[in-house]
Amino acid sequence: MADRLTQLQDTINQQADYFCNSVGILQQYASPSKFPGFDRIGTPQQQNQSQEDYAALFATLITRCAKDIDTLIDSLPNEESSVELQVASLTKLEQENQEAADQLEEVVAQGEALLQRIQAALQDIAQSQLDMQNPTAKTVINPCQPLSTNSITNSVNVKLETQNSINIKNLQSTDVLSSAMQIS
């Protein structure tokens, strides 16, 4: 919806259209005047609607539009109270803006706290998964470092290599013991 000044301008433009159209209709359907010494030969045209109907229609439209213009003009603010009303309105808007800004800051702080809790929970989950995959490894995820799949994969690979080398050493030591027992 447009503001009151735009509505007023649109209504004034509509009023101007009504005036122009009414003058055009009057010119179109007016009966020709006779000038002395000038005879025009021709037949008068048949009119679909009488001139009085057009006059009544445009009179109604023009008066209705004039009433709308008066109503819109009356709804405009007074010049005397406009400065005080504007100052009061601006003060109220500034207070509402400050309250909204405070609420926004509070919501942002709550969101950041929630984000930190979610990141901590994700780190705990990732650490638990790593511990379950290799219970003998002592690698700990650094909570200050953001999680990435590359760092988790590298940690798992290091743990697996450590476990494999431990298993190989255990097999070698068992082979040495069994060959020593066979010799004895």
Contact 34, 85 (CB under 8 A): no
Measured between alpha carbons, how far is 22 from 34 in angstroms, rounded to an integer? Answer: 23
Confidence band for 157, pLDDT divided at 50, 70 and 90: low
Structure letter (DSSP) for residue 35: B
- Pick the residue with more confidence: 89 or 165? 89
Contact 47, 112 (CB under 8 A): no
Rg (CA), the chain: 46
Helix/strand/coil percentages in the chain, nearest 5: 75, 0, 20
Which class for 58: exposed (0-12), middle (13-18), buried (19 or more C-beta within 10 A)?
middle
Check: pTM over 0.85? Answer yes or no. no
Judge whether residue 182 has pLDDT over 60. no
- Confidence at residue 31, expressed as pLDDT on a 0 to 100 scale: 73
Contact 130, 152 (CB under 8 A): yes
Judge whether residue 82 has pLDDT over 80. no
